[in-house]
Every structure is written in C-alpha cells, then in structure tokens.
Structure 1
Amino acid sequence: MTLAPERPTTAKGIDPRLRVESDAPRPQRPALKKSGRPNPAAHLTPEQIEGIGRELDALRAEVMDSRGARDAAYIRKVIKAQRYIEMGSRAALLFSGVKVKGVRPLWWVGTAGLSVAKILENMEIGHNVMHGQWDWMRDPKIHSTAWEWDNASPSSQWKHSHNEIHHTFTNVLGRDNDLGYGILRVDEDQRWTPFYLFQPIWHVGNALLFEYSIAAYDLELGAYMAKKDRMSEEQKAEFKNNADEVVAKIKRQATRDYVVHPALAAVTGSARTTLTANLVANLVRNVWTNTVIICGHFPPGIATFEKTSIDGETRGEWYLRQMLGSGNISGTKAMHVMTGNLSHQIEHHLFPDMPSNRYAEIAPRIRDLMERHDLPYVTGSLWKQAGSVYWKVVELSLPNKVEGRRRRDIVKLELTKAWRKKKRARRA
C-alpha cells in the first residue's frame, strides 16, 4: 500500500501530557465521594492504578503496531458497501410511488436501505474516521482532517466538542457537557432543578431531532444565549461564523434530501414518496444514533467524577476513568458494525483512535483486566441498556430521595422559590 504524505490531524487519542507515573505520590482514593455515594475505585492503590496504565499502554502498542492491510481492507469494504446501499436505495426510491396490490414495495425497500446507509455513514465511518482511526493509512479520502459527514453538525465543530472535550473530561461533572447534553439529568450527583421535571418529554424529542440537537450543542448555543450580553464583539463574531457554518450545512443537507432527490423522482411520479422516505430515514438514523450513545454513558453502574478528582491525573487514572465512565452493548457482529462499534464503548474510550474493527478483539482482555481489579465491566443487551436509561431519565426528572422528606414537597418548595425569584425579577 502506497502512503501519501503525512497530514496534520485534529483527532484525539490519549493525551500525551498524561504521565504513567506522577511526580508526587498520588493519594489513596476515598471510600466515598463528596456526595456520599461509593467510590468504585476506592480499593485500588496508586501503584495498582499505575500498573493498569502500563498494561493498557502495552496493549495499545501491540494493536497499533500491528495495523496493516487487513484493517485498511475493512474500512474500504465498509465504505464501498455503504455507498452501494445508498445508491441502490435511492434508485429504488425513484419508483417508490408505484403500488403493487395497494402497497409501495420500493418505498419500504428504499427507506430501509437508506436508513442503513445513513447509519453506517454516521457511525462506523464518519465518527471513526474523524477520530483519526484511519489516519495511519495516509489516504486523503479517509482522513480525519478531510472527512465531512452526513450530519447537521460540521465536522470541525463536532471534533472540538467530542474529541477534544468529551474524550478528555469523560463523565466529569461540570466539565463533560455530554453528560446529559445540558438538558438531561442522568446522574444523582447532578443538582436537581424544576427544569428537569419535563425531561422525559424532551428526551424523546431530542432523539427524533438528534443531529440538530448535536449541532446546537457543538455550537454551544445554550452558553451563547446565557452569556451573549457579556461577550466581546470578537466572541460574538466567532459565534456568528460558526452559526453560519451550521446553517449552511443544514441547507445543503435539506436541499439534497428534500429538494434534489424528490425532484429527480418527480419524473416517475415518486416525488412525494421519495421526500417522505428521506424524512423517515433521517429520523431512523437520529433515533438509532441517540440510542447507541445514551447506552454508552448513562446506564446504571457507570460512574461520574468530581472536578477535583482529575487534578494531576496520571495516564493510569485517565484509563481508569474511561473504564468506569463507559458501558458496552452486547450483540451480534452486524449490530456492532451498525453501532460504529460504539457497542464497545469501554474499549473505544480507552483507545479512541484505534481502528474500530479491533475493539471486539481486545474486549475480552479489557474485561479480564477489569475483573482482576474488581472493577465493574458494565454491559448488557441493547434493550436492557436503553430501557435502563429511559427509566433513569424518568426517575431523575424528580429530586433525589431524602430521608424524612417527600419528593413532592421538595418539588413544591423549589417551584415556589423559582416563582418568587421570577416575580422579584419582574419588579426590578
């Protein structure tokens, strides 16, 4: 295989600034976190954590040094299959208006195929390419600096919020905004406010419109709305440029899916059915992507961390946080491919720039490592993991249980405080 010249990358692997050993002795982890909840790694000594770091460094080096033709063939095969599925589906949709015994068979075939194609493009291809998993191939067509995916969020903005922030501060309260995306309370250590009472409703809305929610999240729209009066002109100009980029990206997508392809199908009388097929495929992709992602960090048994807990963090401690802050989904090989191998979320968070086809290979060794150190390897079926998250979203829409107090009394008190505060603000 001929390699092109090396290109700069914005992909996020393991922060090279993290050292295996600390300059100063690391303290023993307390049995309880500040919230009073158990610390799942309290039984590990600093020396044991350093040992975990060394073992995972060795595993990473072993796999990364063995990358080659087999891996390159895998990603090229997936890309080729995705493109054939999309082309075949769009061809079928040109005749999706044709009825056979009252049914439009090509609408169903085209919609199902297009849904699969969009999921593959986002998950196994786009997400992993933009992590730099295939940069070692030096193929300019499959490089993290060049890939633009079929998603409302521009790749540059997504790589900043996901690769640089989420993977660095995984599940750190107040630092990792992916922990509920700023609109969901998914952990008891997150402070409850009346805002969360309605989160079961907008959790469903967020799933249906997930690509647009992520675009707004990557744009940091909420932070802009809260701080715009205190922002400098330069900061406002930067936000406007980023917002213009998002709007332009959404326009391109909408034009392709809801104007160009329906117009092409108008010749065969299938414009309306092609439009609905594109809409349904995008909704299916959004719900699937959301489901896979929430299963990676929100199910019961996955830990969160305080800001101060990562001060002076070593590489072993970073590895430990990734293992405790992630969860897997069990299933078939086909299911793993459709999740972008994020069903191996623990392995992905340990080695985000490792080729995704290698995660299944190393998963047994990661599980063995964690079980040897009495660490919970959180995994379960898709239905179990997703169901547990939906139940958690409902449960945590209410305040935590407090001995001697009823939840409804806490809600009533907080609503009264919020109403009085708003009333005072109006008077002022």
Structure 2
Amino acid sequence: MNPVTTPNETTETPAEATFVPALDPSTPLSPSAPDREASAAARRAARTDAGERRRIDPSRRVADAPLSAVPHLSQDDLDAFGREMERIRAKHVADLGERDATYIRKVIKAQRRLEIGGRIALELGFIPPFWLAGVAALSASKILDNMEIGHNVMHGQYDWMQDEELNGRTFEWDTACPADQWRHSHNYMHHTHTNIVGKDRDVGYGILRMSDDQPWEPYFLGNPVYASLLALLFEYGVALHDLEVEDARYGRWDWKARLPMMQAIWHKVRRQAGKDYLLFPALAGPFFPVVLAGNATANVVRNLWTFSIIFCGHFPDGVEEFTVEETAEETRGGWYVRQLLGSSNLTGGKLFHVMSGNLSFQIEHHLFPDIPAHRYAEISDEVREVCERYGLQYNGGPLPYQLFTVARKIVRLAWPTGAEADAFVASETGGRLAKTVVRTLRGATRAVRAAV
C-alpha cells in the first residue's frame, strides 16, 4: 500500500508503508447533537482540557435531570462525559496503523480458508465426520464474514486504509440482506436512535415487543413464537427490516413505494440461495441432498449465533430504553450516555470475542462504531474507569445468563399487565372479538391470582 501524503508534503516517500487515518479525531460521532456550553471559549477550553476527571456521587439528585435513567447527572455532567469519550476516541483514531491492518487481513485469510475447507469437506459429506467438519467450518466462515468482517468493515472501521476490498461504502457480505439497506437501517437508524422507542426499529425489529414503552396489543401474545422464528431465519428478518412490514398490521403498508427495495432483496436472496442451495450441492452430484443439508445447517447456525449476540447486547436486564421526548434536545454528551445505557457487554475469552465480531463489547461498539472492533477490549478498561467516576452502570455478563434474561423478557412482554389489558379494551383500536378475548383473559388472570 502506498503511503498517504498531504498536498503540501514534499518529503521523499519512506521505504515502509505508513498508515494515515482518514478519520478526524476531533470530529464528534454525533455532530447533529450540540455540546451546550456557555461560550465558544468554554467549548475550546473543555475540548483541550485532557485533565478533566470528574467524580460524581451517584446518590445525588439533579433537578430536571435530562435523562430519567441517570437522575444524578446534570446537562453539564453529560457534556463532560461526552468530552471524555471523545478524548478516548481521538486517542485511538490517531493510533490506527499496521497492527489494525494486519489483524483484519489475518481474519479475512482465516475466513476464506474456513469457507474453502468447509465446502470441500461438505462435498465429501456422505462420510459423516466430513459432513460435521464441513458444517462447523462453513458455519465459522459465515459468522466471521458477517460479524468480524462485514459488520465492522461496513461501519467504516478500515476506510482509512484506502483498500477497496475494505471500503465500508461498497462492501457486500454473505447474507440475505443487501449491504446498502443494512448501512441505512443499522449504521444510520439504529446507531443514531439507539433504544429510542418509536425511532430505533431494532427495538423488536418490527416483529417483537421488547420494551414496556411499546403499547401492548393481542398480536404480541405470539412474542415467543416470533422470536424463535426470527432467531432461526435471522438473515431474512434483517433483510426485511427496512420494508417496515409491521405497518401492514395497521393498513399503512404501501407496496408500490417499497417495490425497488423488494426487488433488491429478491436479487440478493436469489443469489445467496442459488449459491448455497443449488450451485454447491449440484457439484456433489448424487449427494446433492447431503451438501444442501450441510449448507442449510451452517446458515441456521450463523443465524442463531448472530441473533444471540445481538439480542444479548441490546435487550438483557439492565439495558435502558428512552422516549422520543427525553431525547428531543439531546446533546453529544447525552448521545454518548444513551449509547452506554442502551447496550450490554458479554464476558468471554479471545476466541469468543473474535467470533462475536467483538460485539461482545457492545458498549464500546455503540460509543465508537468507527474504531476497529479488535481494540474494544483495551478501550473497555478506559470506558469502565470513566463510568465508575460518573456513577454510571456498565452492563455485562456471560452469554448463557444474558440469553436467559432476554428470553424471560420476550415471554414477560407477550402477556399484558392488568393496566395494559384495561387500556387496550378501553382504546379505539382493536376489534370487538379481540377485546372480548382480552377481557376473558383478564378475568381468568384475576381469578387465578385470587385463588392463589
């Protein structure tokens, strides 16, 4: 790779390649959210004061605190927290270089070898050990492609390398969702409006009820069933995400307006299905069904793993949701605090973190989505120290427990509370039959509780 030089640079080209980040460490991630300081001079002083290290008593209460989830933080405290996060980001952006490039290239090489080895093994899948080995290798390949490579590259984490193969704006991945749609629904919608109910469509993916702030309706009685299907077919759930198919329940779905998006999805799904379910199985001749089953199994394994990592990073116990009203006047500092409180980490070893795309450090990913994810482990120590001083909860736990709390939430939110059932019956929405069923369920619940 040739070194990157500025237009005014006149020095000779060095013998070894240098890596100059295209990211500007002084540019905040959320430029639309103002940092409300008293004056421009105060802003400049705050940004250059690297020694600011507040320690805040979490038991105190601030009048008219901007975020109800952290009543001990004032607007000034939120902005100070944001400045500390930006200093951490600036430090790592300025340090981007050879080790980051070497890391992602090693992961890409490993992913390609796993895919080639997995597909060759599956062609010999009529021998059971080869079939199992092929499924394992292909599953790992697809997980790495989607999480540690695709997801992170499309966040622009390696754009500074100026390598077209790692261009976050043009990268395409091995899954049913077209990359351009992912860049909109995930990079923009989700990371801008993280856990704002009504704005962040990742809260339930338009299918599930994942927050008490989502009004209950009889449709959500199927929450556990929908979640199970979404986990098994997660790549297709993600592909349909931007179509907003939930609007069909309310008669607002305009298929003509969404036709170009549907065509793009169909083109991508057809290509993926043709590769996994026709081309490679056909190469096995009479053992077509064996390879077909192996490819399908690898896709399901990838879907279940991805669903688990993502849901455990966003919806376990301790993660906060926010309202549109309380984030309407949000500053940069408030944005950083919301990213922190709306995420949760997963504990585990190095291999676990790599196979999760380092989204096991979901907190750090939401704070710094454009920093190479393999740095999140070291960044987490810095973030945790700042959180301790500000009295902010730093969520995390092992995957099995976090997955249990997510499943418990899915089941709990399927069933209405008494107030939610009464509100639905009294509302103008819903048919007469649905309200009769809800009244009956409400009466049965009261009778059971009275008997107990």
Q: Same fold (TM over 0.5)?
A: yes
Counterpart in the other structure of 1:252: 271
CA distance in 2 between partners of 1:417 and 1:222 (Å)? 16
Q: 2:87 aligns with which of 40, 58, 61?
A: 58
Q: 1:175 aligns with which of 177, 199, 213?
A: 199
Q: In 2 relative to 1, CA 223–249 (structure 1 residues): closer, same or farther, beyond 3 Å?
A: same
Q: Could you give the per-residue CA deviations for residues 317-371 of structure 1, whole angstroms, max 9, x where no partner exists?
A: 1001000111110001100111111100000000111101110111011111112
Counterpart in the other structure of 1:396: 413
Task: Give yes or no for contact 2:206–2:244 (8 Å, CA) kept in 1.
Answer: no
CA distance in 1 between partners of 2:265 and 2:105 (Å)? 29
SS in 2 for 1:308: coil
SS in 1 for 2:346: strand
Counterpart in the other structure of 1:147: 171
Counterpart in the other structure of 2:317: 300
Q: 1:216 aligns with which of 228, 231, 240?
A: 240
Q: In 2 relative to 1, CA 254–401 (structure 1 residues): closer, same or farther, beyond 3 Å?
A: same
Counterpart in the other structure of 1:15: 30
Q: 2:432 aligns with which of 398, 420, 424?
A: 420
CA distance in 2 between partners of 1:125 and 1:13 (Å)? 24
Tell me which amino acid in the other structure corresponds to 2:153: V
How far off is 1:401 after superposition? 5.5
How far off is 1:189 after superposition? 2.1
Q: Could you give the per-residue CA deviations for residues 207-230 of structure 1, whole angstroms, max 9, x where no partner exists?
A: 00111111111233333675667x
Task: Give yes or no for contact 1:207–1:287 (8 Å, CA) kept in 2.
Answer: yes
- Structure 2, gaps ≥5 residues long: 6-19, 40-60, 436-452
SS in 2 for 1:302: coil
Counterpart in the other structure of 1:2: 2
Task: Give yes or no for contact 2:231–2:307 (8 Å, CA) kept in 1.
Answer: yes
Counterpart in the other structure of 2:108: 79
Q: In 2 relative to 1, CA 278–189 (structure 1 residues): closer, same or farther, beyond 3 Å?
A: same
Task: Give yes or no for contact 2:154–2:168 (8 Å, CA) kept in 1.
Answer: yes
Counterpart in the other structure of 2:158: 134
CA distance in 2 between partners of 1:2 and 1:142 (Å)? 16
Q: In 2 relative to 1, CA 196–228 (structure 1 residues): closer, same or farther, beyond 3 Å?
A: closer
SS in 2 for 1:132: coil
CA distance in 2 between partners of 1:2 and 1:422 (Å)? 66
Given the alignment of the two structures, is residue 190 of structure 1 paired with residue 214 of structure 2, yes or no? yes
CA distance in 2 between partners of 1:59 and 1:28 (Å)? 27
Identity of aligned residues (%): 44
Counterpart in the other structure of 2:119: 90
CA distance in 2 between partners of 1:224 and 1:190 (Å)? 17
1:376-391 aligned at under 5 Å gives the runs 376-391=393-408
CA distance in 2 between partners of 1:124 and 1:44 (Å)? 35
Counterpart in the other structure of 2:289: 272
How far off is 1:51 after superposition? 1.1
Q: 1:70 aligns with which of 62, 79, 99?
A: 99
Counterpart in the other structure of 1:314: 331
Q: 2:261 aligns with which of 219, 235, 242?
A: 242
Task: Give yes or no for contact 2:134–2:294 (8 Å, CA) kept in 1.
Answer: yes
1:366-381 aligned at under 5 Å gives the runs 366-381=383-398
Task: Give yes or no for contact 2:118–2:138 (8 Å, CA) kept in 1.
Answer: yes
Q: In 2 relative to 1, CA 416–14 (structure 1 residues): closer, same or farther, beyond 3 Å?
A: closer
SS in 1 for 2:258: helix
CA distance in 2 between partners of 1:353 and 1:295 (Å)? 21
CA distance in 2 between partners of 1:300 and 1:69 (Å)? 38
Counterpart in the other structure of 2:139: 115
Counterpart in the other structure of 1:101: none
Cα RMSD (Å) of the superposition?
2.9
- Structure 1, gaps ≥5 residues long: 34-38, 99-103, 424-428
Tell me which amino acid in the other structure corresponds to 2:430: A
Q: 2:356 aligns with which of 339, 347, 355?
A: 339
Tell me which amino acid in the other structure corresponds to 1:310: T
Task: Give yes or no for contact 1:13–1:353 (8 Å, CA) kept in 2.
Answer: no
The number of residues matched between the two structures is: 397
How far off is 1:412 after superposition? 9.7
CA distance in 2 between partners of 1:76 and 1:238 (Å)? 40
How far off is 1:2 after superposition? 1.8
How far off is 1:309 after superposition? 1.3
Q: In 2 relative to 1, CA 345–242 (structure 1 residues): closer, same or farther, beyond 3 Å?
A: same
CA distance in 1 between partners of 2:433 and 2:281 (Å)? 51
CA distance in 1 between partners of 2:36 and 2:64 (Å)? 20
Greater CA deviation, 189-198 or 78-87?
189-198
Task: Give yes or no for contact 1:122–1:149 (8 Å, CA) kept in 2.
Answer: yes
